[in-house]
Chains A and B, each alone.
Chain A
């Protein structure tokens, strides 16, 4: 099974700053997904990037994918206190299979 490893484990920034989280994985993927989880709640799907894409934007989110390095990054620009949450990446393998989540990055945005 494929597991994403997020880095850093925790990130604390001020409102208005940018936040960058990284994800590494081990095997070939079909796509890679990012999810957000507010404390004690379900996960919310943020963005999906396919293996043949290098960059994708959605509002204040920007995701990059480097399949040669087996890594992805999630950038949140102009962060807000409401962005405080845990962020998880989930690589989806080529041969199908379940999503395996890493430990996530805990983002804290201070007003």
Chain B
């Protein structure tokens, strides 16, 4: 079966712009989580969605938002981009909120803000 698909793979944006990243989970998976990874801060949890509802949220400003659609696909949006938003954004999916077999991650979207 297809894995977790994140698009686009690479993105270059200018400060002040906004960006939307997409994540398609494994078919049948209803939980989607988002992470930001930077060399300085490591892997930081952004939010988790399950059945179109946000279930958990990390400590990020309101410029970071997300949503999940009825087909479980998820998008995250970052408005008013800052240089510090440059990072690898990872999406992970699972069947349920607290899976007994772990999460499956996508390959990530590399965002560069210039």
Q: Which residues of A contact B (CB under 8 A)?
A: 1, 30-31, 33, 35, 40-45, 48, 50, 88, 92, 96-104
Q: Is the CB of B45 within 8 A of A100?
A: yes
| SS of A interface (majority) | loop
A31 to B56, CA, bound (A): 18
B97 (CB) vs chain A CBs: closest residue: A96
Interface size on B, residues (CB 8 A): 24
Can you identify 17 A-B contacts, CB atoms within 8 angstroms? A1-B45, A30-B98, A31-B100, A33-B103, A35-B105, A40-B110, A43-B103, A45-B101, A45-B103, A48-B100, A88-B43, A96-B98, A97-B56, A98-B56, A98-B58, A99-B103, A100-B45
B43 (CB) vs chain A CBs: closest residue: A101
